[in-house]
Amino acid sequence: MAMMRLRREDPRVVGSFRLHRRLGAGGMGVVYLGSDRRGQRVALKVIRPDLAEDREFRSRFAREVSAARRIRGGCTARLVAADLEADRPWFATQYVPGPSLHDKVNEEGPLPAAHVASVGSALAEGLLAVHEAGVVHRDLKPSNILLSPKGPRIIDFGIAWATGASTLTHVGTAVGSPGFLAPEQVRGAAVTPATDVFALGATLAYASTADSPFGHGSSEVMLYRVVHEEPQLLGVPDALAPLLHACLAKDPEDRPTTLQLSLRLKEIAAREAHGQGAAGVAQGPGSPHSPHSPHSPHGHASDGRPVGRRADAYADQHTERRSGAGTPPRGAAAPRASSPRSGPSGTGSSSRTAGRNTPARAPAPRRGGQRPPARTVRTSPNGRRPGGPDRLRLMRQRLTVFVVVTLLVALGIAAAQGCQGPSRGLGVPTAPTAPGAPRAAEAEPQGGL
């Protein structure tokens, strides 16, 4: 908040507070920076002389100060002291360091959506405490919101009014600020907590666009637009536009409650903050720029596998790790993967395909009779290398099995024939006889005559 030197007409001491600087001036009086004997700094507002002479104003001001004492919450400037019987009534609130929301936006431009939602959520919580105390602020606007290091603070409850009070102008002084007044305030109807919700919606729209949602112009023009025209929210982030439009509804019944507004803004603030902090938050799995997109510029498929030309290098690297080879032998052909579906160990379908379609070349033996480790691993269905000494060894084994089986079969046949021999004279063959000739046993009967 900008500070100015005290003028000649300004008091130097008010109550128990010593005044140091001017903080600003408004429709009700001048605000000073002061301090007490303990060094506590306060923002002290002294009421204008013409208003101080009005008894009705003094009575209303006393009720407002009494209601302000009941406000409890960290989002408001706490009331420290007040003197309602002084020649010029005054009240002092806790001094809040930091620029106003108006000055912040005026100097740096519109705030990001996450920042606007975060500030709005804190302000809605502050208004909730104000409304629970039975008070309506009635003049919530960017210049009455200070951005302190501990969060936003609502100040200037000088024209706050108890719930249900009228907002008619008093002694020629307009109560509130055009562009941030609710339609019911302009019509002179009773104010409610929904009145502050309208003002908060207009304030957050200003923070998002650096402009009032009802434009610029004279007070009459601005008040007419508030009552009869829709707010202009062009430039408000999409995440905030629907909620702010609801806050600026003409009918107070159509606006969200302070509690609903606080919860909704807190959700938006969390989502927007996460979206800005995470890399590529708007990039889903199918986004062209997503690192897991099938068309990712990094050359990876949606499941993390490489695609395109990177698939070949991926297969080569993983195949080398699987084989455990240092340097490839001379004459060994470099592997060429036919499919990117190579397993983590590098011995997937691409390796088997390469083993079937590519002829194997036996590596040259090193000194000492040891084979150099192969650069590539080409496997056969039984898990062994299909060529070289392994193939010769396999042929020898098959030949040995064939010979053994043949000998066993021959011995079996011979044994079967030998078992049939004793039925014919103990295996001694007899001489064949002519057809029709009697056998010897029949021609010569035994036993003589």
CB environment 182-220: b (16+ within 10 A), e (fewer): bbbbbeeeebbbbbbbbbbbbbbbbbbbbbbbbeeeeee
Q: How confident is the model at residue 292 (pLDDT cuts 50, 70, 90)?
A: very low
Question: How far is residue 387 from each of residues 324, 361, 364, 380, 395, measured CA to CA in Å?
Answer: 20, 8, 13, 10, 11
Average of pLDDT values for 284-303? Answer: 38
Placement of tokens 């062994």 in the chain? 384
pLDDT of residue 369: 47
Active site residues: 139
Q: How confident is the model at residue 344 (pLDDT cuts 50, 70, 90)?
A: very low
pLDDT of residue 388: 58
Backbone region of residue 383 per phi and psi (left: phi > 0; alpha: psi in -120 to 50; beta: other values): left
Rounded to whole angstroms, how far apart are CA atoms 149 and 116? 16
Q: How confident is the model at residue 331 (pLDDT cuts 50, 70, 90)?
A: very low
Looking at per-residue confidence, does 50 or 291 come out higher?
A: 50
Looking at per-residue confidence, does 113 or 59 come out higher?
A: 113
How many residues make up the chain in this entry?
A: 449
Rounded to whole angstroms, how far apart are CA atoms 19 and 6? 8
pLDDT of residue 411: 87
Q: Which of 273, 286, 371 is CA-nearest to residue 330? A: 371
Task: Report phi then psi at 76, rounded to 5.
Answer: -125, 155
What would the two tokens of residue 140 be? 């919530």
Task: Return the minimum-mean-pLDDT range out of 19-33, 230-244, 250-264.
Answer: 19-33
pLDDT of residue 72: 75
pLDDT of residue 276: 65
Instruction: Indicate the average pLDDT of the chain.
Output: 74
SS3 24: strand
Rounded to whole angstroms, how far apart are CA atoms 190 and 166? 5
pLDDT of residue 90 exceeding 90, the answer is yes
pLDDT of residue 230: 95
Task: Name, in order, each residue with C-beta under 8 angstroms of 97's C-beta and a sequence gap of 6 or more.
Answer: 1, 146, 148, 149
Q: How confident is the model at residue 77 (pLDDT cuts 50, 70, 90)?
A: confident
SS3 144: helix
Task: Return the minimum-mean-pLDDT range out of 2-11, 180-189, 339-348, 413-422.
Answer: 339-348
Rounded to whole angstroms, how far apart are CA atoms 426 and 161? 139
Which helix (DSSP H) or strand (DSSP E) does residue 17 occupy? strand 17-25
Backbone region of residue 96 per phi and psi (left: phi > 0; alpha: psi in -120 to 50; beta: other values): beta
Q: How many CA atoms lie within 13 A of 130 on its CB side?
A: 36
Q: Which of 160, 13, 1 is CA-nearest to residue 95? A: 1
pLDDT of residue 96 exceeding 80, the answer is yes
Measured from the Cβ of residue 339, the count of other Cβ atoms closer than 10 Å reads 13
SS3 14: strand
What would the two tokens of residue 429 be? 């063959």
Residue 177 contacts residue 145 (beta carbons within 8 Å): no
pLDDT in tens, 260-278: 999 999 999 999 988 764 4
Please list the helix, strand and coil fractions of the chain in percent, rounded to the nearest 5, in that order: 40, 10, 50
Question: How far is residue 134 from each of residues 122, 130, 157, 214, 353, measured CA to CA in Å?
Answer: 19, 7, 13, 29, 81
pLDDT in tens, 122-149: 999 999 988 988 888 888 999 999 999 9
Tell me the sheet residues that pair with 76: 154
pLDDT of residue 14: 95
pLDDT of residue 390: 72
Average of pLDDT values for 307-312? Answer: 44
pLDDT of residue 159: 55
Q: How confident is the model at residue 359 (pLDDT cuts 50, 70, 90)?
A: very low
Task: Return the minimum-mean-pLDDT range out of 154-168, 274-288, 291-305.
Answer: 291-305
What is the amino acid identity at position 321?
R
What would the two tokens of residue 219 be? 């007070």
Q: How confident is the model at residue 158 (pLDDT cuts 50, 70, 90)?
A: low
What would the two tokens of residue 387 be? 């060529």
